[in-house]
Amino acid sequence: MKNRITLGLIAFVAFASLAFTNLVTKEVKVKESTIKWTGHKVTGSTHYGSIKLKEGTLNFEGDKLIGGMFVMDMNSIQTEDMDAEKNAYLTGHLKNDDFFGVEKHPTATLKITNARGHNHHYHVSGDLTIKGITKIVSFEMTVKDNTASTKFKIDRTQFDIKYGSASFFDNLKDKAISDEFDLDVTLKF
């Protein structure tokens, strides 16, 4: 009898705890969201473009960000800073195995594992998976007016993208490409 009362009390407390939490998952509007990338050569020149979002969600407790994930469609990667012929060439190169190997790895994923902050500003960490390799990344994110936005750097060499890296190849001179590239992400929900 005592065990039944204890089990009943535990079940009631667990149910009451769930009933009073305000956990909400919000779908990211993929067509309204943007992901911009910028790559840098060591000479200071840059290339930039976009990647389309495939899907995403953001998790909230009340109005506080607590988690989420988004999936990038790596087949959609585009270069946007040159004439059409040069854009097509560089886009093709980014899609091949020297860079993102999109035939074998058509998506890249970021899963938010921790979000700390207040007043719309968060320090976020998560698991970023590119080319089947997962690494922990950290960045600042602003969440306000149904928009989450962030800008951060990724060290591509951690994901086995070593093409043109002076860290791995000698005598590249002005053809060397920076190990880091920038992502500028705006998620609408």
What CATH number does residue 144 fall under? 2.40.128.110
Asked if the structure places residue 103 within a domain, the reply is yes
Decide if 42 is inside a domain: yes
157 located within any domain: yes
Q: How many CB atoms lie within 10 A of CB 73?
A: 17
Domain count along the chain: 1
pLDDT reported for residue 10? 60
CA distances, 53 to each of 33, 63, 161, 173, 178 (Å): 7, 23, 21, 35, 25
Give the model's pLDDT for residue 174: 81
167 in a domain, yes or no?
A: yes
User: pLDDT 10s per residue in the chain (189 long)?
Assistant: 555 665 555 655 555 555 557 999 999 999 999 999 999 998 889 999 999 999 999 999 999 999 999 999 999 999 999 999 999 999 999 999 999 999 999 999 999 999 999 889 999 999 999 999 999 999 999 999 999 999 999 999 999 999 999 889 887 888 899 999 999 999 999
Residue 175 located in a structural domain: yes
The pLDDT value given to residue 187: 98
Q: Tell whether 8 is covered by a domain.
A: no
Phi, psi of 80 (to 5 degrees): -130, 10
Domain assignment of residue 79, given as a range:
23-188
Determine, yes or no, domain membership for 17: no
pLDDT score recorded for residue 1:
58
Indicate whether 16 belongs to any domain.
no
Torsion region of 100: left, alpha or beta (phi above 0 gives left; psi -120 to 50 gives alpha):
alpha
